[in-house]
Amino acid sequence: MKTRIILTAVGAPGAPTIIKALRDDKNIEIIGTDVRDDVIGKYMVDKFYQVPMGTTDSFIEKLKEIVIKEKIKVIIPLATFELDNLARHRDYFKSELSCIICVSEYESLKIVNNKARLYEMFRNEDFIPKFFIPTSLEEFERAVYNLGYPEEYVCVKIPVGHGSIGFRIIRSDIDEWELFTKEKPSNVFISLEKMMDIVSRLERFPEIFVSEYLPGEEWGVDGLINPNTHKFVSVSTRKNTNLNLSIPIACTITKNEKLQEIAQFIASKFKLAYSMNFDFKYTKDDVPKLLEINPRLSASCILAVKAGVNLPLLSVDLALNKDVEIKYPREGISVYFYRDAFFIE
C-alpha cells in the first residue's frame, strides 16, 4: 500500500526539486496544496487542492478534510508563514487523525521565525552579529551610527520575513545614477536618509532591528533533526558561491564542522525537529555569524539530495518512525540554479 503525503505550498520556488526528490520512492503519493490554483507544482504532484491562506483557521480545516479523504500519513510544509499555524495543531493531527506534521514545537518556532527574538536569545554568543532593536527614529539613527556608519554598511531588517522582504543595506556611498544604469530595481541598497524618510512617514515606529554588515562568505547548513533527541540525523554544509539577493544560485557541498556545531547547539536549545536550514555569513575577520533559520525544507536541499542525502524522503521516513540511517553527503558537489521551462498542453 502506498504512503500518501501532503506537500504544502507547491507553488514555492523549491517545490519542483523537492517533488522530484520524493519521486525516488515509488511507494509515495504526493498530494499538493497551494493558496493559488495555477502553480507549477500542481502539474507535478499526483493530486492537487487549492487551500486558504496558511495563517487562517480555514486552512487547518481544509487540511483536516484532505487528510481524512486522502488517508494522509505525513504533512511536509514548504512555506514559512504556514509553520506557526501547523505547529499549533500538530498534536491534534497526530492523536486524532494519525497524521504527522513535520514541524517543530510552536513555542520554539515563535522565536526561531523571529530574527530579533532569536538574536536576543543568543545575544552573548559569538555567532550572533552585533545588533540593536530601536523603538524610535532617534534610537534607529543612533544604532546605525553605533554600528560604524558611514564608514561601514549597516543592515536593517524586519524580524519576521523571508528572502529579501523587509531587508535593506544602508550605505553612505550610493550613486543613484550608477544604480539606475547598472543595477536591476531589485537591489537591496538604500541611503540612511531615504530609510529614515520611509520610517518617519509611519503613524508609529515599526518593529525593525539593525545589525552589522557581514562582508564575508555566505554558508548554509541543511539538516534533518530527530524529533525525539533533537540531534542531527544528517547534516550537510554548503558554501554559497553566487547569490541573487539572498537566494543561492550556485553552491558547493563543503565540510564545515564549526557551523555544524553551532547548528546542533541551536537545535538542542530549541528542541527543533525535522528538516532545518541555517544561514550564516562571515565577518571581515572570518568569524561566522548566524543570519537566520528556516525551520523547513529549503530549495537548496536538492544539493544534499544529489550528494546522497535525500532530506525530503528522510523526513517522511522519520515521521513514520522508520529506522533512518545516519548519512553523510559527498563533498565537492556543486549545484547551479537556472531558469527552465515547464510546458502544459
Q: Which of the four pLDDT bands, split at 50, 70 and 90, describes residue 247?
A: low
Q: Are residues 174 and 247 in the same domain?
A: no
User: Which domain covers residue 61, as residue numbers?
Assistant: 3-103
Q: Are residues 47 and 68 in the same domain?
A: yes
Q: Are residues 187 and 227 in the same domain?
A: no
Q: What is the pTM of this model?
A: 0.91
In a domain, 344, yes or no: no
In a domain, 287, yes or no: yes
In a domain, 97, yes or no: yes
Interval 251-279: pLDDT, tens: 899 999 999 999 999 999 999 999 999 99
Q: Which of the four pLDDT bands, split at 50, 70 and 90, describes residue 336?
A: confident
Q: Which of the four pLDDT bands, split at 50, 70 and 90, describes residue 168?
A: very high
CA distance 316 to 90: 15
Could you give the number of structural domains in the chain?
3
Q: Which of 66-70, 187-191, 197-201 has the lowest mean pLDDT?
A: 187-191
Interval 101-139: pLDDT, tens: 999 999 999 999 999 999 999 999 999 999 999 999 999
